[in-house]
Structures are given as C-alpha cells and as structure tokens.
Amino acid sequence: MSPAVRAFARREWGPLFGAVRAALAARGPRAVPLTTAAVCLTGLFQLVQNQPWGYGPVQAVGSVRAEDPLWAALARTPLSLFVPALDLPVWGALAQVLVVFGIAEICLGRTRTLVVAYVATLAGTTYARVGIALGPGTPLLGLPASDARVVDTGPSAAVVGLAVFVCWRYRARLTGWLVIAAMVVEAVVKPNLAGKEHLAALVAAVAAYGLARWRRGRALPRAAQGRGPSDGPGGDSSGGPGGGASGRAVGGLPGAAPGGAAPGGAAPVPGEGSSGAADGRGAEPGGTVGGTDGGAPAGAPEPVPGEAPS
C-alpha cells in the first residue's frame, strides 16, 4: 500500500477505528450490549415469523404499512427495525445491525444510537404516507397507491442514517458522502418505496447531525464563560483573599481547573456526561474508553473551528 493511500486511510478512518478498537479492547462484547440485544432480537423475529404460528404475531407487533392507522404505525415502528424483510436474506439484516449499530453504539452511545435510528426509520415511514398522498404524478416525491400495502420493515433506514451520522461525527466526510451517493443511485436505478425511504432517512440523519453540531457550538461559549474569572467583589481568581482556586497551578497547568482540565477546554456534548463508557455510552471523541481520566485516545478527531471536541 502506497504512503498516500495509508495517509488517506489514517485521516479518513483513523479516529473512528481508534475509538472502536479502544472500546472493544477495554470491554470486549460488553461495549455493545445494545447491538448484541438487537442482533438477538432480529434473529428471534426471523425465526418466529417463519413458523406456521408465528407470522401473525410478528406482523401484529412489528409490521408497518402506509395504509395502517397512524397510531398503529407509530406504535409498531420501534420494533419494525428488527423485523427482517421476508424477501431479503436475513444474514444481510444481521450484518447491518452488528456492524453499523455496533460502531454507532461505541461512538455515539446507546441513547443517541437509538434516537438517530428511530428518527431515520420514522422519517422513512412518514415519507411513505406523504408520497402516496402526493400520488405518482408528483415528480421525485410521489408514490403509487399500491405502495400503501407494502410491508415496511427492516433496519436499512436506520443503518444508512446511523452510517452518515457516525461518519460525519468522526470526520470521515468522504465515506459519509459515498453512502449518500450510493442511496441516490439506488433510488434512481430502482425507484421503489425502499429506495425513496432511504433518502428520507438520510435527510433526517443529516438534520439530526446539524442540530447536534449547532448545540455543541452553542454550548462551547457558555462553558467558556462559566470557567472565566469573576470580576465582582470577592470574586478575584488570583488566589488572594476571597479569591477562587482557578488562579493557582492545579494539575501542572497555571490557571487549570481541578482535575487537570485547562481553561476553555472542551465542553461535554449536550445530553451526554463526561464519563464516556463508564456509564455505558462507549468511547467519545476526545475521551478515553473509560472516560474518567480526561485523556484523548490515539487518533481522536481534530476539532473543527466553531465545534467543540466531543
């Protein structure tokens, strides 16, 4: 492999690979309990729905059609992620869940993985209703009325949404754009319900990433202000009478906060603590697998202007 290819691979996938490797080396399968449960649930649904007595119950709890009442579709959507499509090989669904959900669980945490997966799936389900209402005469967006009876299950919408979110979060920009390009080509070559739902899931995932980045950008100035010295009486930070401890050398850094964090350091991602995998969320960029010592893992992504490292 040429040095240029190695350098590209290190820039594109180094931070992501480093985070996943560190989490798996430290905790093994315990780093991905959500993914393990999702794989087992997908396999269980596949086994049950292929039994003479099992197809009906699985459809009742995890089958979504655009013709169903909205409340029923919303209630079934969470489990529909784990019901494999009958016309596709189950190993494909299992592999998608294992790889993409596993990486996302380590890099984003369990809660965020579930939220992004559900939002992407719900976007596809909602689009199906909108597209059928618009009708086939509407360019690009319209769907035929017959698609209202198509069973809409499987993890594919969640997988493409998580893939783009994780890639962009870990600076694998080109890989994220390649996923988007592949879904666009799929929708053009085979303009069916599944292909267009994947595009809707991508739009939802990109919007979720933009919202998360905007929130991190807003949190950084507030965190920096909170660490700044007080100008009020008795609020002098020089370490003098009535002053705080921030003016003293703590952790070997002049003016550092207790624990060795330098002033103006990275603020935690909104909605996440700073403990990383210690509370079951996995490794975050800018934190170790355990997340308790504040160190950065090898290959952590470089911060971008205006974005707090997370």
> Where in the chain are the domains?
12-214
> Could you give the C-alpha distances from 202 to 127, 156, 181, 279, 309, in angstroms and in order?
12, 11, 11, 29, 24
Query: Is the torsion defined by CA of 57, 63, 69, 72 positive or negative?
Result: positive
Residue with tokens 């919303």: 74
Q: State the helix-helix crossing angle for 55-62 and 70-80, rounded to 10 degrees.
A: 110
Distance CA 253, CA 294 (A): 14
- The pLDDT value given to residue 220: 75
pLDDT in tens, 154-186: 999 999 999 999 999 999 999 999 999 999 999
> Taking a C-beta distance cutoff of 8 angstroms, is the pair 193, 201 a contact?
no
Name the pTM for this structure: 0.71
> Taking a C-beta distance cutoff of 8 angstroms, is the pair 200, 180 a contact?
no
CATH superfamily of 12-214: Rhomboid-like (1.20.1540.10)
Enumerate residue ranges in the chain where pLDDT < 50: 230-300, 302-310
Give me the helices (H) in 28-148, please.
33-49, 55-62, 70-80, 90-96, 102-108, 110-134
pLDDT in tens, 1-59: 788 989 999 999 999 999 999 999 999 999 999 999 999 999 999 999 999 999 999 99
- The pLDDT value given to residue 251: 38
- The pLDDT value given to residue 289: 38
Hey, is 177 helix, strand or coil? helix
